[in-house]
């Protein structure tokens, strides 16, 4: 058991973070970046111990690949200056070819490590089963490796850096320390957000001076995140674990409730962690990219994924969806299909290959398991259906004189999207795909309110008081979300109040967490969910 397993531990909140803040405040700029890097490696060490060497290896190799790519280009440029006109095209093509090979090699190394560590066991055990089915007596030993926490996140960052250098969106970084800081900045290393080099590297390197205002805003956001996680996510944990582990013993209502609770928990845990992470960054004046934008206000699944785990979606969009869509064979598809299916459908159907790849990757990224693959395919199907249904829906609405922007219609869409997402989360959380289907079936075949009537529903880890406080907290979060949806900044509003109001808000929030947080005897806090991916 390693000493640090969550940002919500005393070790991080009371020692690591304040210690870093203190050192950062008193030291001059040139040492501040060293403080950040040192803290980052200290946190990684406390989380994953010796597995720190994986991160170091990735950092060094990525740094090297970046330089290699750039030097190849520079060399070609030198050649181009003196080369006669007719050979220029040839040189360009050859350079491009070489650069492509280099970046492919770099990506293969990074994802090779990730695949071997994360998916090795999954592939081998599936291979064994297949061999078993075909009556071949080969049994490969299933390796048991320990993943460095956060590898899924920093590998994505490493890949995006190399690809951005390859695409010449950014210059290669000659400064190993800046790149190391980009790869490992401590608040984001466990659960993201997945940053782009162009977004954070220079900010981190600049290590802006500590500002009182940033400190206050950062701490405020951290508290807000702690509230989400400790009051809501942790409080629902017992019920969810019980229902998902022993679903055979429970009826459809219990399972449906657990699925909704899990979706709430996942959102509160992940977005709460992001509040803490972005808040930690803000203290140092570092602006990390947002990962959530009130996803449960989304009207479609597509919109949902633009507002939920934003940085992951953006990564897949930029490095999987566009490259595949714009690759030579697929690029022809829309114009080809247009003739047969008409414009709109031509485009929708020609996006299928890329969309499929994105969702397969998305499912697999969350973990090696058939339920995750199913989760990806489920969303792939939803988005496809959504696209196909859009034109008839528009037509129908017009015929029936339904205002698609009316509040009622919008609410209907929001609820529908949330329900669809919840169903996806059922399979996501289920211990296996089989269990997922069995649970899903139970919701419809075994639905009874008996447990609510005789109150046994409230004896599985969450009683009426627990639900009450969860609902109150969610209402508070919803209210803040509604205000933000209208484009009003709640934090700016608070900042303009006088000292007494601000002070009481601080004290109230802390007291609220202290009293209504689910910690201590009788509670088992949920492990950071996304750190496991």
Partner 1 sequence: MIYLKRTGCVMLFLLGLLVILLAASAIFKPKNNIPSAGMEETLANGILGEPENTIDVLIIGDSESRCAICPMQIWKETGFTTYVCATAAQKLSYSYTMLDRAFQRQKPKIVILETLAIFREMSLEDAVKEILYHRLPVLRYHDRWKCLHANDFGGAVLPVWTNDSKGYWNTKKVDPGSNEPYMGAMDNKSSVSLLNRRYVRAIKTLCEKNGSRLLLLSTPSTINWNYALHNGIQAVAEELGIEYIDMNLMNDRIKIDWSRDTFDKGDHLNHSGAVKLSLVLSEYLQEQGIFKDHRGDQAYAKWEDILKNRGTEPEEE
Partner 2 sequence: MKQLIEILEDVNPGVDYNTCTDLVDGGYLNSLSILAIVAELEEAFDIVISTVEVTPKNFNSAQSLWEMVLRLKEE
Q: CB of 463: closest distance to partner 1 in angstroms?
A: 8
Candidates 53, 146, 511, 524; binder of partner 1 (CB under 8 A) is 511
Among 347, 409, 437, 458, binds partner 2 (CB under 8 A): 347
Four-point Cα dihedral 212, 214, 217, 219, nearest 10 = -80
Return the number of the residue (163 or 254) whose C-beta is nearest partner 2. 163
Residue 325 as a binder of partner 2 (CB under 8 A): the answer is: yes
Could you say whether residue 331 binds partner 2 (CB under 8 A)? yes
- Least distance between partner 2 and beta carbon 5 (Å): 37
Number of residues that bind partner 1 (CB under 8 A): 21
C-alpha dist (Å) from residue 367 to 37, 152, 327, 372: 29, 9, 28, 6
Q: Strands of 314-357 (E only): list them.
A: none
* Burial class of residue 90 in the structure, from the number of CB atoms within 10 Å of its CB (0-12 exposed, 13-18 middle, 19+ buried): exposed
The site string for partner 1 over 187-226 (x = CB under 8 A, - otherwise) reads: -------------------------x--------------
Q: Per CB under 8 A, does 60 bind partner 2?
A: no
Stretch that binds partner 1, among 38-46, 110-118, 187-195, 500-508 (CB under 8 A): 500-508
Which of 88, 98, 211, 306 contacts partner 2 by CB under 8 A?
306
Q: Is 2 in the site for partner 1 (CB under 8 A)?
A: no
Q: Choose among partner 1, partner 2, none what residue 167 binds, the Cβ cut-off being 5 to 8 Å by kind.
A: partner 2
Please report whether residue 506 would count as binding partner 1 according to CB under 8 A: yes
507 binds partner 1 (CB under 8 A): yes
Helix intervals (H) in 149-284:
151-166, 176-184, 197-206, 212-227, 237-245, 252-283
Query: Measured between alpha carbons, how far is residue 428 from residues 125, 149, 363, 529 in Å?
Result: 20, 20, 9, 12
CB of 524 to partner 1, least distance (A): 14
**Nearest residue (CB) to partner 2, 120 versus 353:** 353
Whichever of 487 and 520 has its CB closer to partner 1, that residue is 520
Quickly list DSSP for 21-78: HHHHHHS-HHHHHHHHHHHHHHHHHHHHGGGHHHHHHHHHHHHHHHHHHHHHHHHHHH
> Which of 25, 241, 302, 484 forms a contact with partner 2 (CB under 8 A)?
302
x-marked contacts with partner 1 along 425-464 as a string, rule CB under 8 A: --------------------------------------x-
What is the CB neighbour count within 10 angstroms for residue 93? 10
Secondary structure of residue 147 in the 3-state scheme: coil
Our CB check for partner 1 shows the closer of 468 and 482 to be 468
Q: Is 97 in the site for partner 2 (CB under 8 A)?
A: no
Closer residue to partner 2 in complex, CB, 167/502: 167
Do 332 and 350 form a contact (C-beta atoms < 8 A)?
Answer: no
Cβ-count burial 468-478 (b if 16+ within 10 Å, e if not): ebbeebbeebe
Binding of partner 1 by 509 (CB under 8 A): no
Q: Which residues contact 78 (CB under 8 A, 6 or more apart)?
A: none
Q: Which stretch binds partner 2 (CB under 8 A): 25-33, 44-52, 348-356, 438-446?
A: 348-356
CB of 510 to partner 1, least distance (A): 6
The DSSP letter of residue 456 is G
Q: Which of residues 14-43 bind partner 1 (CB under 8 A)?
A: 14
The CA distance from 119 to 155, in Å, is 14
Q: How far is the CB of 56 from partner 2 (least distance, A)?
A: 30
* Cα→Cα distances 445→9, 111, 371, 441, Å: 42, 43, 22, 6
- Verify binding: residue 10, partner 1, rule CB under 8 A: yes
d(CA 491, CA 358): 36
Q: Is 498 in the site for partner 1 (CB under 8 A)?
A: no
Q: Long-range CB contacts (< 8 A, 24+ apart) of 34-40?
A: 34/177, 35/207, 36/181, 36/185, 36/186, 36/204, 36/207, 36/284, 37/177, 37/180, 37/181, 37/184, 39/186, 40/181, 40/184, 40/185, 40/186, 40/189
Site membership for partner 2, residue 54 (CB under 8 A): no
Cis status, amide bond into 273, omega within 30 of 0: no
Tell me the window of 48-56, 67-75, 191-199, 515-523 that interacts with partner 1 (CB under 8 A).
Answer: 515-523
Q: Sort 89 into a burial class: Cβ within 10 Å, 0-12 / 13-18 / 19+.
A: exposed
Q: Which positions from 384 to 403 touch partner 2 by CB under 8 A, shown as an x/- string?
A: ---x----------------
**Residue 503 in contact with partner 1, rule: CB under 8 A:** yes
Q: Which does 515 bind (CB under 5 to 8 A by kind): partner 2, partner 1, none?
A: partner 1
Residue 516 interface partner, choices partner 2, partner 1, none, CB cut-off 5-8 Å depending on type: partner 1
Question: Does position 294 bind partner 2 by CB under 8 A?
Answer: no
Q: Is 352 in the site for partner 1 (CB under 8 A)?
A: no
The contact set with partner 2 (CB under 8 A) reads 167-169, 302, 306, 317-318, 321-323, 325-326, 331, 334-335, 347-348, 350-351, 387
Residues of this chain that interact with partner 1 (CB under 8 A) are 3, 9-11, 14, 212, 463, 465, 503, 506-507, 510-511, 514-517, 519-522
């Amino acid at each position: 058991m390693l000493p640090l397993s969550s940002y919500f531990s005393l070790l991080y909140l009371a020692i690591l973070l304040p210690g870093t803040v203190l050192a950062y405040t008193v030291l001059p700029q040139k040492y501040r970046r060293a403080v950040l890097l040192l803290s980052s490696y200290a946190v990684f060490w406390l989380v994953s111990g010796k597995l720190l060497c994986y991160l170091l290896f990735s950092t060094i190799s990525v740094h090297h690949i970046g330089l290699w790519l750039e030097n190849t280009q520079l060399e070609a440029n030198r050649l181009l200056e003196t080369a006669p006109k007719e050979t220029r095209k040839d040189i360009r093509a050859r350079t491009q070819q070489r650069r492509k090979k280099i970046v492919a090699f770099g990506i293969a190394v990074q994802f090779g490590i990730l695949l071997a560590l994360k998916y090795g066991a999954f592939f081998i055990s599936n291979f064994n089963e297949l061999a078993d089915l075909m009556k071949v007596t080969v049994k490969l030993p299933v390796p048991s490796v320990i993943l460095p926490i956060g590898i899924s996140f920093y590998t994505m960052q490493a890949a995006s850096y190399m690809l951005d250098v390859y695409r010449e969106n950014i210059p290669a970084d000659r400064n190993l320390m800046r790149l190391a800081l980009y790869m490992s900045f401590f608040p984001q290393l466990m659960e993201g957000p997945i940053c782009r080099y162009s977004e954070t590297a220079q900010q981190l390197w600049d290590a802006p001076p500590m500002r009182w205002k940033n400190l206050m805003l950062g701490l405020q956001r951290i508290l807000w995140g702690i509230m989400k996680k400790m009051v809501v996510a942790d409080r629902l944990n017992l019920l969810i674990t019980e229902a998902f582990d022993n679903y055979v013993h429970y009826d459809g209502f219990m399972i449906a409730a657990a699925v909704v609770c899990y979706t709430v928990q996942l959102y509160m845990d992940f977005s709460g962690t992001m509040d803490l992470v972005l808040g930690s960054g803000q203290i140092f004046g570092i602006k990390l990219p947002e990962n959530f934008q009130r996803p449960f206000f989304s009207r479609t699944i597509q919109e949902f994924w633009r507002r939920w785990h934003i940085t992951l979606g953006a990564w897949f969009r930029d490095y999987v969806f566009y490259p595949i869509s714009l690759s030579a064979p697929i690029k022809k598809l829309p114009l080809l299909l247009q003739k047969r299916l008409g414009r709109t459908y031509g485009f929708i159907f020609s996006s299928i290959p890329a969309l499929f790849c994105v969702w397969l990757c998305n499912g697999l990224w969350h973990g090696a398991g058939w339920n995750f693959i199913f989760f990806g395919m489920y969303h792939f199907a939803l988005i496809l259906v959504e696209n196909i249904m859009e034109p008839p829906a528009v037509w129908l609405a017009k015929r029936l004189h339904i205002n698609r922007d009316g509040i009622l219609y919008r609410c209907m869409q929001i609820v529908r999207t949330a329900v669809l997402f919840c169903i996806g989360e059922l399979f996501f959380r289920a211990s296996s795909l089989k269990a997922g289907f069995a649970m899903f079936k139970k919701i419809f075949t075994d639905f009874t309110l008996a447990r609510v009537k005789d109150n046994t529903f409230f004896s599985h880890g969450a009683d009426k008081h627990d639900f009450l406080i969860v609902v109150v907290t969610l209402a508070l979060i919803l209210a803040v979300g509604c205000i933000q949806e209208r484009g009003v900044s709640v934090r700016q509003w608070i900042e303009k109040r006088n000292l007494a109001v601000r002070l009481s808000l601080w004290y109230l929030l802390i007291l609220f967490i202290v009293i209504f947080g689910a910690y201590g005897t009788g509670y088992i806090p949920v492990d950071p969910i996304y750190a496991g991916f």
